């Protein structure tokens, strides 16, 4: 039960309660799926106290949904904003130290919260990453959801890949991918779909343009969807017609880098070691300076979450973490190749969540 774990952590830190504002943390703990249109227009926050019942604070627009979904939570509605409700609520809850999430609260909101709590003789303290730390290791049920999101994403990819033709623009292809995601039953894209054809593929985060796809050039397609709240993230680099020798060579190097990393990922391996396994292959092939990003990142309710796999992360992976393995080579003016799969970290080794092998083994 995550709630019991959180309560134990709160007591360790001498906190009487935690205000959970980060949307994925809120969903993780409560099951409440509402979407915040921005950090300034929240669909509600949780107040988890060390002793009393957990509360969900929201406004009347979301009351029905909150009641239906957050079954373990007691709902409190605010009419004149969160702070006014907290001001009424906190004194009755015997809270002396209240934690809040500094990485998901606006400076203006936090300063108003600090001012309000000080008038009540309550100490408000920033508590970073407490829930994110719990979210890193997935339960069996979460892994099922992620597996389903990965497989549906592959079906969407295959559906659109079968219709790719020279002359279609990057933007048309990206739009079609996102439409197909919705049609095939997902909650929509987990991030803005990347389609980078030819030279545009040399930008790791290319925004799809009106450039048409051409025969023979590498086309980077980076796509992910949300299903039951959980994300998938996959990149394939494909060619319409026959790839030339250079493209084939670079795809092979990137694929070998991916396989080398997949071989070392297991419980106890550090993020840095996983990154190095892939980087060594690309360095040895002479393309080291064209692999400018980290190897991967955690995926769950958020498409980018802990842990990062890069040169700086000396933390060890633990079983149940789900991470991407996505080396790439980006050559200015020529284009890019990136290959991205997702794996679950196991005690010995890791388990591949992907089945699609398009252009992985040419």
Q: Which residues bind a second copy (CB under 8 A)?
A: 34-35, 37-41, 60-62, 64-65, 100, 102-111, 126, 128, 175, 178-179, 182-183, 191-192, 203-205, 207, 292, 304
Q: At what angle do helices 170-183 and 140-161 cross, to 10 degrees?
A: 130
Task: Choose between 216 and 292: whose C-beta lies nearer to a second copy.
Answer: 292
Q: How far is the CB of 179 from a second copy (least distance, A)?
A: 6
How far is residue 98's CA from residue 123's CA, in Å, rounded to a whole number? 6
Peptide bond into 307 cis (omega under 30): yes
State phi, psi for 237 to the nearest 5 degrees: -115, 120
The first and second tokens of residue 81, run together, are 């904003």
What is each CA distance from 349 to 260, 271, 323, 343, 345, in whole angstroms?
A: 12, 14, 13, 10, 7
State the minimum distance, in angstroms, from the CB of residue 106 to a second copy.
6
Question: For residues 153 and 162, what is the distance between their CA atoms, to the nearest angstrom?
Answer: 14
Query: Are 15 and 8 spatial neighbours (Cβ–Cβ below 8 Å)?
Result: no
**CA gap 153, 151 in Å, rounded:** 5
Nearer to a second copy, 299 or 344 (CB): 299
- Give the shortest CB-63-to-a second copy separation in angstroms: 9
Alpha carbons 206 and 336: distance in angstroms, whole number: 10
H/E stretch holding 352 reads strand 350-352
CB of 182 to a second copy, least distance (A): 5
Distance in Å, CB of 207 to a second copy, minimum: 7
Within 8 A by CB and 6+ apart from 145, the residues are 227, 228, 229, 230
d(CA 41, CA 19): 16
Residue nearer to a second copy on the CB measure, 125 or 134: 125
34 and 44 Cβ atoms separated by less than 8 Å: yes
Shortest separation between residue 113's beta carbon and a second copy, angstroms: 9
**Cβ closer to a second copy: 83 or 240?**
83
Comparison of 233 and 243: residue with beta carbon closer to a second copy: 233
We find the least distance from the C-beta atom of residue 304 to a second copy, in angstroms, to be 7
The encoded tokens of residue 330 equal 């980006």
Nearest to 232 by CA among 145, 133, 349, 352: 145
Q: Which residue, 208 or 243, has its beta carbon nearer to a second copy? A: 208
Q: By C-beta, is 109 or 228 nearer to a second copy?
A: 109
DSSP 334: T
CB of 35 to a second copy, least distance (A): 7
Choice between 303 and 350, CB closer to a second copy: 303
Q: Could you tell me the smallest distance in angstroms from the CB atom of residue 38 to a second copy?
A: 8
Contact 219, 239 (CB under 8 A): yes
CB nearer to a second copy: pick between 232 and 262:
232
């Amino acid at each position: 039960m995550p709630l019991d774990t959180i309560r134990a952590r709160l007591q360790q830190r001498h906190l009487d309660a935690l205000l959970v504002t980060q949307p994925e943390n809120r969903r993780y703990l409560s099951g409440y799926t509402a979407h915040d249109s921005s950090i300034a227009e929240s669909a509600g926050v949780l107040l988890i106290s060390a002793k009393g019942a957990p509360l969900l604070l929201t406004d009347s627009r979301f009351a029905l949904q909150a009641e239906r979904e957050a079954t373990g939570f007691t709902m409190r509605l605010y009419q004149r904003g969160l702070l006014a409700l907290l001001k009424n609520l906190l004194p009755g809850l015997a809270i002396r130290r209240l934690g809040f999430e500094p990485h998901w609260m606006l400076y203006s909101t936090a300063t108003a919260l600090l001012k309000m709590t000080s008038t009540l003789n309550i100490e408000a303290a920033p508590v970073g990453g407490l829930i994110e730390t719990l979210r890193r290791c997935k339960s069996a049920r979460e892994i099922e959801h992620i597996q389903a999101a990965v497989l549906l994403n592959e079906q969407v990819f295959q559906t659109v890949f079968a219709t790719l033709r020279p002359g279609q623009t990057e933007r048309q292809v990206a739009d079609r991918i996102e439409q197909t995601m919705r049609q095939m039953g997902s909650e929509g894209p987990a991030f803005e779909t990347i389609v980078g054809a030819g030279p545009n593929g040399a930008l790791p985060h290319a925004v799809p343009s009106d450039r048409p796809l051409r025969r023979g050039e590498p086309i980077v397609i980076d796509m992910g969807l949300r299903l039951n709240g959980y994300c998938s993230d996959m990149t394939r680099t494909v060619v319409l017609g026959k790839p030339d020798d250079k493209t084939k060579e670079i795809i092979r190097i990137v694929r070998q880098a991916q396989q080398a990393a997949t071989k070392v990922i297991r419980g106890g391996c550090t993020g840095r070691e996983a990154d190095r396994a892939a980087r060594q292959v690309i360095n040895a092939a002479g393309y080291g300076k064209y692999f400018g990003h980290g190897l991967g990142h955690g995926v769950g309710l958020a498409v980018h979450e802990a842990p990062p796999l890069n040169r700086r992360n000396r933390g060890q992976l633990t079983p149940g973490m789900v991470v991407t393995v996505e080396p790439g080579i980006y050559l200015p003016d020529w284009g890019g190749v990136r290959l991205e799969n997702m794996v679950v970290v196991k005690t010995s080794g890791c388990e591949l969540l992907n089945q699609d092998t398009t252009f992985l083994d040419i």
